[in-house]
Structure formats: structure tokens, C-alpha cells
Structure 1
Amino acid sequence: MTRPLLRGVLPRTLLARNIALLIALVVLSQVCSLGVLLHYVQRPRVERAAAVFATYVTTLDSLLQSTPAGARDALTARLDTRTRLPDSAQAEPPPSVLRAYRNYQRKVFLDSLRKHLPADMEARWQTEGGQRLWIRLHAPAAASGAAAPRAPYWIALPIPEDAQGNGLDAAILLSLGLAALAALTGYAIQLHLNRPLQELTHAARRLSAGETPPPLPTDGPVEIAAVSSAFNQMTEALKQAEATRALMLAGISHDIRTPLTKLRLSMAMAMPDGSDSSFAVAAESYLDQIETILQQFMDYAGSGEREPAEPGDLNALVERLAGDFAGLGHEFELSLARLPLVDYRPVSMMRLLMNLMQNAIVYGGSGLAVRSWATHDAVYVAVGDRGKGLSAEELEQLKAPFQRGRNARAHSGGTGLGLAIVERIARLHGGRVEFHAREGGGLEVWVVLPARAG
């Protein structure tokens, strides 16, 4: 349950995952640092400032209480005391996401100030029209002969610097800037590490397409250099194995075809004139089957890796093959749409289409047809028939080498490599082979090739 959830949340690429992890670690470290700074540094500092400020306020209140009435009235007038608070003065700072840090310091300051002041000396914070702190001072003693005692009054005092929260703004901005710089640096480092991986991916794709990529550089980090060196060794080993295989196949082809040719000649010379030639005909048939099997092995082993690809029109190749089969008495109905040029290996692609069309003739028999169409990113060629042989699911299993279907028992001379050759050539061109039930009955084999870039 947890693993599928993580797969859905985490980014797909290694670059994005490392950057997300780096950002998360930087953010976590900054949050922890800010928490420690606020709780163990700033909070005690603000609380000390509030205690000192409370001492000043109580001293001022006591001074005003002991000042004679006339002098006190003149002093309170100069201090701009009021009997009524301004509307903008509030008991708590207004909530604000952008000013969360300042509001936090102000709240700590107000809470600590109220603890150190008498309960009847209230404090209010004014944010509009300037930052001021309003303190409710005790009412002065009533003058002798006054009709009623005088009411308490409010006095505006400047806010201490420690309570305004201005000192740490620059530090927080600098910390955020350093965090962003760390994230960008990590991004640059990860891009530098990803470049060899991208080169390795590109080289592996070229190798799977039958090409020989140039050696990868091995001057990077030790771990990446080790992977590149191992890949270069593997490429060289495959190159040597390919050369050995080509030499072995050439030798097998020569060594087997030479005695077969001599056997044909010996049989022809050994048969007297006018004798029954049924044995010679059967022997010739067996020899033809041996050569056919040998050629299928050679086709599967070669598959055209060394043949260069060139742009061409698949419709022209289909029309030429259909004309060749028509000359042998097998008519294919063609429905060919306009196709863009496709990069393909001519001999290998002809072998692929010929195998499919030959299979349609042998195992389908009727309703032979070839159609083509294109989309924005792929080119399709479909070979179909109206046979009632194998299903699409069964044919998928025949892509493996040496697999023969139940409908192949009545046909001799096969090795189970036909569809394997088709699949291998399609993958060599970056494409695939698909099997689909044909509308109206029968089967279609689709060859899907990537469209030419640009």
C-alpha cells in the first residue's frame, strides 16, 4: 500500500527526485534553524525587552501619580494622553501570512508585558498611522474639593526595537536566498551527473538498433566512469562476438552448400538415361528443404544489422512484392494510402514483408490483401488473409524462435523462425509487430514503424 502511494507521489525521473529531496532537506533545515532561533534566541530577547519596558511604564505611572496636579496636567498634555483609544489600537496584532514573524514577536512582547504590568494596566498595539503602543495608566488622585474622581487615561509610547521584529527580516531573506542557491547548485550538480547517464542511454539504444556507438568517456566521477568503462567493454565484446558469428555463419554456409551442390551433381551423373526419376525428384525436394532451412537460419542470425538504413517509400516496396507474387499466381488486393518517407534497410524490410505475404499465402490461402496508412508518429503496413488458422493470441507466442503453430504440421520445410525474423527486423527498425482480427473474418499482421523525424 505504501509503495504504490510513493510511486504515485514521487517524480518519475532521478533528476526530479534528487532536486525534490534536496529542496525538502534545505526547507527542513531552514525551518528547524528558524524554530531554534525564535525559541532560544529571539523569544528570551523579546521577553527581556518587555520586562524592561514594563519597568519604564510602572515608573512613569508612579511618577505621574506623585506629580502635583498642575505640573501633571501640563505633562500629560505634552505626552498626548487620551481618555479614549483610537479605533486602530488592538489587543492582538491582526493575522497576516506575510507578517507572521512580526506578529509572532509582537504577541510574545504583549503577553510578556501584561505579565509584568498590573492587571488594570491594559496594553494595545496600534498599526495604522504609525507603530505605537498604548498603555492605560492609573487615574490620578482626585483633587481636594473635586466632585468626582478622575478617569484613567491612555498614553502612547514608542515601541522598542526588539518588539517590532525588524532585525531578523534581513537574516530570514538571506537564509531563503542561500536555500535557493543551494537548490540551484544541487540542480546544476545533478544535471552534470545526469549527462553521462543520458549518453549511456543513447549509446544503449544505438547498440540495440544494431549500430556500434562510439566509446563513452571515462573521465567523470569514479562511479559513472566505472559504468561507462563496463559498457565500453561490453560493446567491444559484442563487436567481437558479432565478427565471430559472421565468420562462423559464412563458414557454415560455404561448408554445407558445397557438399549439397556436389550431391546434386553426383545424383544427376549417377542416374542412367531413361530410368525412373521419382527418386531423383524426391531427393531434389529434400535438398531444397535443406537449403531453405539453412537460409532461414542465416536470415535469423543476420537480420540486416550491418545494412545501412536509407529513406524510402514502403508502398513502392509493397507494390513490387505484390507484382512478384502475382506472377506466381497469388493476387494481393492493395489499399495503399500516401505514406511519408521512412528510414529502413531495403533488403531486411523486403525480407520482412515477403515473410508475412508468404505466410498469408501458405496459411491463409484466400482474401490476400495489403493496406497501409500513417499517423503523426508512425507508419503502418498490414498484411491480411481470410484464413481460419491461428488466433492473434496464438501468433503472439510464435514470435519466439523455433515455435511452430498447430497449422504448420501439414507444411514441411519450416523451422519456426519466420515470425521471429519478422519481429527481429521490426525491432531493428525501432518498430513492432501486432496481430489483429480482420474485419469480416481472418487475420491481419500490422508492421508499425516510427515516422521519420523532421
Structure 2
Amino acid sequence: MRRSLLQRALPRTLLARNIALLIALVMLSQVCALGVLLHYVQRPRVERAAAVFATYVTTLDNLLAATPPKARSELTARLDARAQVPAEAFEAPQRSVMRAYRIYQRDVFLDSLRAHLPADMPARWQSVGGQRLWIRMHAPADAPQAPYWIALPVPEDAQGNGLDAAILLTLGLGALAALTGYLIQQHLNQPLQQLTRAARRVSAGETPAPLPTDGPTEIAAVSGAFNQMTQALQQAEATRALMLAGISHDIRTPLTKLRLSMAMAMPDGSDSSFVVAAESYLDQIETILQQFMDYAGSGEREQPEPGDLNALIERLAGDFAGLGHEFELSLAQLPAVSYRPISMMRLLMNLMQNAIVYGGTGLAVRSWAAGEAVYVAVGDRGKGLSAEELEQLKAPFQRGRNARSHSGGTGLGLAIVERIARLHGGNLQFHAREGCGLEVWVVLPFSGSSR
């Protein structure tokens, strides 16, 4: 629980965390420096000022006591002598959070002053109407019953004015440290941002330019490792393309020769049922081979282009209608979508072909836009499957129970569709169709669609 609260309190980005840590460390160091300044520099200075001031007050008290009454009266009048201390004068200064450092120095001054003055000479601090110290002087010998209070100016060392510059300097250094840390972190974050963009380009099937490796050692090591990984992926992609081309050539060539040999080996007028069955098996082999090739080469290298998705749906529906399979179309106006034409055609064709093979009736395609996504739904009235079975169909080599009676498939059709949808930044969803049957939804984002 404590760890969870700490994680919530911390900023989310590395930049913000480093800036917060830097500010905290600078402020802590400044607070410690200010504490050392107050305790080891200002406090002794204020205590010395209080001792000197106490000596001055004691000397003044002795001088007044030895002065003739007439001259004393004139002198005490100049010192604003009063029989009672004013109400504005306090034994301890009023507390204020904003002026804590000044209150601290005043307390130190008063404590030290009282320690050096006789116990019967109390001191009061007046803040209202000017900073003054009221000291009760001893009663003169000719009037022992009448002690009086006089006002004296507060020494500068006791007012704490010298710390204003220190406080402002502390705040200025904290702000300067935060700004410097921000600029340093921005400089360090640039390689990380370049790495993020390059990684996204690699995931989209693109080949980014090599990252610079002239930055800090740690960042340079990460960039160098990423460049090595990119080169390894390019070599693996080249090997895969070469292997696919070899498989396609080396398998299709014997199949073609086998077809030709079968046609030439059968005499004229003989029963051709064997040839028809054999050619059917060869067609199935070639279909399976093509599905493997489609799954392996999922179109990452094909460049996305802006196009009309509804026009592609109408063209495919027209092609299937020419083969005797009518699709009911319900197409809404769609925003511009950037997609890979061949891959998207393969996606829609697979879905429509599945609806024909496994649904048979109630063939329909509809499209609409909602939020920041475009939806294409291909439906049929075939026997529905459970949610668990539908999700399993996204994995390679998985076939539904309604496909067990159909031969020639590999279970890669929906896996190909899922991969192409993810390549375009979208996803594949299964929904039960109202009444009966199944709808397969393809969800494609149109804001920054197709990575």
C-alpha cells in the first residue's frame, strides 16, 4: 500500500522525476546551509550585539542615576521615558511564519540581552510604529519609588535584515538548478525520443536510419545495441524473403510438372476421374501453400495509401456476385483511411470467402464510422460459435467446429486477417448477429491510421 501511494505521488516521466529530485536536493542543501548560517554565524553575531547593547544600557542606567535631577529630567524626556510600558511593547515578539528567520534572531537577541542585564531591568519589544526596545531603568536615589521605561533603537543585527539577500539567493539558486536540470534532461531525452520513434518505425515494418552513438556512454550503448538489432532484423527479413521465394519456386515447380505428367500419361478416351481427383488434390496443396505464403508475408513492406474503403468493398462484392454469391451492402459515408491496398484486399477477401464457405446464407457487409475508428462488418447466417471458440480462431492453425467438414484449409485465414488488422493499427472482433449467425468486425483507426 505504501509503495502504491509512493508510485502515485511520483511524476510519471523520467524528466519530471529527475527535475523533482534535483529541486529537492538543492532546496535541502540550501536549507542546511541556511541552518548553519543562522546557528554558527548569525547567532554568535546577535549574541555579541546583545552583550554590547546590555553594556550600553547598563552604562546609561548608571549615568542617569548619577545625573542631577534637573538634567536627568531633560535627558529622560528626550529618551521618551514613561512610567508604564506602552501596550504595543511585548515581552516576546509576535510569531509569523513568513518572518520566522527574523523572529528567531529577535528571540536570540532578547534571551542574550536578558542574560546580561540585571533581573530587575526587563526588556520589551515594540514592532508597531517602528522597531524599539523598552528597558525599565532603575529608580534614581532621589525618587526610589519611581522606576521608569525608556525606548532605545533596536540594533541592526537583531532585526534580521541581512538575511533577506540570503533567502533570495537561495530561491534564485533553486530556480537556476531546476532550469539547468531541465535543460540537461531535455538534452538527455532527445536520444531516448529518437529511439522511441525508431522502435515504432521498426514495429511498423519500416527501416529507420541508424541512431547516433556520440551521446553519453549509457545512451550510446543503448543506441548501438538498437542499431545492431535493426541490422539483425534486416538480415532476418532478407533471409525470410529469400526462403519464401525459394519455397514458392521449389514446390510450385514440381506441382506444375506433376500436372503436365499426369495429362501426358493418360491415353485418349480413358477414364479421367483419377485426373480430376488428382488435380483437385493439387489445387488444395497449392491453396494451402498460398495461405502459408500469405501468412508469412503479411505486407509490412507495402506502403499505405489513402483510399476509399467503400469502393474496395463494392469491387470485391461485385467480383463475388459474378461467381454467384450476392452480398447485401450497407455502406455509410467513411472518412479518409490510409491503408495498404493489397493487404486490405486480402483481409476483406478472406472474410467474405469465409462467410461464403462457412455461412452460406445471409451474406452481408456493412461499414460505419464511430469516434476515431472505421468499422467494417462481414456477416452471415451460419451456425454460431461460442465466444471462446471465436477468440481461438485468431490464433494460427485454429479451425472452428463448423469448418471440420471443409477440406483444403489450414486455419490461417483469420490469423492473416488479424495480423493485417494489427498492421493497420486496428483489431478484429467477433459479434453474434441479431437473429442468428456471426459478424466479424474489423476496427481501423482513421486518425493516424496505418502505422
Shorter-chain TM range is over 0.9
- Residue 368 (structure 1) shift: 3.0
Distance 1:341 1:93, change over 3 A: same
Distance 1:128 1:333, change over 3 A: farther
Is 2:234 the counterpart of 1:239?
yes
2:394 equivalent among 387, 395, 399: 399
Checking the alignment, whether the CA contact within 8 Å between 1:142 and 1:150 is kept in structure 2 is no
Q: Report the 3-state secondary structure (helix = DSSP H, G, I; strand = E; otherwise coil) of the residue aligned with 1:28.
A: helix
Cα shift readout 1:51-89 (whole Å, capped 9, x = no counterpart): 322232233223222322222111101111123444433
Is 2:141 the counterpart of 1:137?
no
Matches within 5 A, 1:302-341: 302-341=297-336
Distance 1:309 1:161, change over 3 A: same
Q: Which residue matches 2:170?
A: 175
CA distance in 1, matches of 2:145, 2:380: 111
Is 2:189 the counterpart of 1:199?
no
Checking the alignment, whether the CA contact within 8 Å between 1:363 and 1:389 is kept in structure 2 is no
- Name the aligned partner's letter for residue 90 of structure 1: F
- Residue 453 (structure 1) shift: 4.3
Cα shift readout 1:146-188 (whole Å, capped 9, x = no counterpart): xxx6443221111111111111211221122112111111111
Equivalent pairs, count: 449
Give the TM-score of the pair, scaled to structure 2: 0.93
Q: Which residue matches 2:272?
A: 277
Checking the alignment, whether the CA contact within 8 Å between 1:370 and 1:382 is kept in structure 2 is yes
Moved more, 174-183 or 380-389: 380-389
Give the TM-score of the pair, scaled to structure 1: 0.92
Query: Which aligned segments of 4 or more residues in structure 1 are displaced greater than 6 angstroms?
Result: none
- Name the aligned partner's letter for residue 19 of structure 2: I
Moved more, 118-127 or 311-320: 118-127
Moved more, 72-81 or 436-445: 436-445
Cα shift readout 1:308-335 (whole Å, capped 9, x = no counterpart): 1111111111122222223333333322
Distance 1:439 1:35, change over 3 A: farther
Q: Which residue matches 1:380?
A: 375
Q: Report the 3-state secondary structure (helix = DSSP H, G, I; strand = E; otherwise coil) of the residue aligned with 1:396.
A: helix
Q: Which residue matches 1:371?
A: 366
Q: Percent identity?
A: 84
CA distance in 2, matches of 1:381, 1:34: 68
Is 2:97 the counterpart of 1:97?
yes
Q: Which residue matches 2:39?
A: 39
Moved more, 339-348 or 45-54: 45-54
Distance 1:122 1:291, change over 3 A: same
Q: Which residue matches 2:148?
A: 153
Q: Which residue matches 1:421?
A: 416
Structure 1 unaligned residues grouped into runs of 5+: 144-148
CA distance in 1, matches of 2:188, 2:115: 58
Q: Report the 3-state secondary structure (helix = DSSP H, G, I; strand = E; otherwise coil) of the residue aligned with 2:374.
A: strand
Distance 1:87 1:259, change over 3 A: same
Distance 1:112 1:367, change over 3 A: farther
CA distance in 2, matches of 1:126, 1:441: 92
- Name the aligned partner's letter for residue 88 of structure 1: E
Distance 1:153 1:407, change over 3 A: farther
CA distance in 2, matches of 1:10, 1:442: 50
- Name the aligned partner's letter for residue 127 of structure 2: T
CA distance in 1, matches of 2:57, 2:412: 100
Q: Report the 3-state secondary structure (helix = DSSP H, G, I; strand = E; otherwise coil) of the residue aligned with 2:135.
A: strand
Distance 1:355 1:78, change over 3 A: same
Q: Which residue matches 1:146?
A: none
Structure 2 unaligned residues grouped into runs of 5+: none
Q: Report the 3-state secondary structure (helix = DSSP H, G, I; strand = E; otherwise coil) of the residue aligned with 1:176.
A: helix
- Name the aligned partner's letter for residue 178 of structure 2: A
Q: Which residue matches 1:299?
A: 294
Distance 1:271 1:35, change over 3 A: same
Q: Which residue matches 1:123?
A: 123
CA distance in 1, matches of 2:436, 2:68: 116
CA distance in 2, matches of 1:428, 1:52: 84
Distance 1:111 1:410, change over 3 A: farther
CA distance in 1, matches of 2:125, 2:266: 124
Distance 1:44 1:359, change over 3 A: farther
Is 2:77 the counterpart of 1:72?
no
CA distance in 1, matches of 2:441, 2:11: 35
Q: Report the 3-state secondary structure (helix = DSSP H, G, I; strand = E; otherwise coil) of the residue aligned with 1:433.
A: strand
Is 2:260 the counterpart of 1:253?
no
Checking the alignment, whether the CA contact within 8 Å between 1:364 and 1:389 is kept in structure 2 is no
Q: Which residue matches 1:30?
A: 30
Q: Report the 3-state secondary structure (helix = DSSP H, G, I; strand = E; otherwise coil) of the residue aligned with 2:399.
A: coil
Checking the alignment, whether the CA contact within 8 Å between 1:141 and 1:150 is kept in structure 2 is no
CA distance in 1, matches of 2:438, 2:413: 17
Distance 1:109 1:435, change over 3 A: farther
2:445 equivalent among 432, 441, 450: 450
Matches within 5 A, 1:2-17: 2-17=2-17
- Name the aligned partner's letter for residue 239 of structure 1: Q
